[in-house]
C-alpha cells in the first residue's frame, strides 16, 4: 500500500531538484498539470496559498481533481499571531525604522495573508468543509540565525504558544459533495 505522491512546482529549478530525488513532480501550475477529475484522495498545500494571485481558481481546480469526500491539507503563516502583531507594532511605533521583525514575518512573495477565519471563509466559498485545524510554531531548526536572533525568535514563539497565538496554521478541509 501507501500513497502515490505527485507534486506541482512552478519553479523549474526546484522541480528538477525534486525529480533528481526520484519524485513525481510536474513543473508548472496545477491547471497546466491536467490531472484527471477525481484523481486524488488528498491534496496538500504547504506554504502555497499565500503565494497565489488567484487562490479561488486553484481551490476550484483542487476540488475538481479530488475524489468525492477528498481532503485538502493547508499549512501557512497565521496572520493573527503574536509574532505578526509584535512585528507590526514595532514597525509602526518606530515609524518604519525597525524593519527586522516585519521583514521576517511579511515577505514580498506573499500575495495575501490569512488568519483562521479568512482561510475558512475562502475554503467554504469554494466547496470545502472544515474538518480540523491547529496552530503551531515555526521550526527554528530549519533556519540559520545568529545566536541573539535565535534566542529572541525562540522567546517570541514561546510567548505565542503561551498566549495561544502561534505563527503557523494547519487546517484540513473536505470536499463538499453538495457544492
Full-model pTM = 0.86
Closest alpha carbon to 112 in 28, 33, 175, 56: 56
Give the number of other CB atoms < 10 A from CB of residue 176: 15
> Where does 34-132 have alpha helices with state H?
55-65, 82-93, 100-105, 116-125
Per-residue model confidence as pLDDT tens for the chain (179 residues): 688 899 999 999 999 999 999 999 999 999 999 999 999 999 999 999 999 999 999 999 999 999 999 999 999 999 888 877 777 777 778 787 766 655 555 555 778 889 999 999 999 999 999 999 999 988 888 778 788 888 888 888 898 899 988 989 999 999 997 65
Q: Tell me which DSSP letter residue 53 carries.
A: S
Residue 38 CA to residue 171 CA, distance in Å, equals 21
Residue 145 CA to residue 33 CA, distance in Å, equals 37
Torsion of CA 66, 72, 77, 82, to 10 degrees: 150
DSSP 3-state of 44: strand
Give the number of other CB atoms < 10 A from CB of residue 121: 11
Residues 6 or more apart whose Cβ sits within 8 Å of residue 6: 24, 25, 26, 35, 40
The whole-number pLDDT of residue 104 equals 57
Instruction: Find the helix or strand (DSSP H, E) in which 9 lies.
Output: strand 7-9
Amino acid at each position: 500500500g501507501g500513497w502515490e505522491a505527485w507534486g506541482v512546482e512552478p519553479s523549474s529549478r526546484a522541480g528538477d531538484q525534486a525529480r533528481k530525488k526520484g519524485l513525481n513532480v510536474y513543473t508548472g501550475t496545477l491547471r497546466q498539470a491536467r490531472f484527471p477529475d477525481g484523481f486524488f484522495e488528498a491534496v496538500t498545500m504547504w506554504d502555497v496559498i499565500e503565494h497565489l494571485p488567484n487562490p479561488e481558481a486553484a481551490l476550484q481546480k483542487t476540488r475538481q481533481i479530488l475524489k468525492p469526500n477528498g481532503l485538502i491539507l493547508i499549512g501557512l503563516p497565521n496572520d493573527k499571531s503574536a509574532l505578526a502583531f509584535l512585528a507590526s507594532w514595532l514597525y509602526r511605533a518606530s515609524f518604519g525604522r525597525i524593519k527586522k521583525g516585519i521583514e521576517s514575518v511579511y515577505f514580498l512573495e506573499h500575495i495575501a495573508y490569512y488568519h483562521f477565519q479568512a482561510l475558512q471563509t475562502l475554503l467554504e466559498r469554494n466547496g470545502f468543509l472544515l474538518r480540523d485545524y491547529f496552530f503551531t510554531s515555526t521550526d527554528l531548526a530549519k533556519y540559520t540565525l545568529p545566536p541573539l536572533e535565535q534566542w529572541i525568535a525562540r522567546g517570541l514563539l514561546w510567548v505565542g504558544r503561551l498566549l495561544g497565538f502561534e505563527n503557523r496554521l494547519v487546517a484540513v478541509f473536505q470536499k463538499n459533495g453538495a457544492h
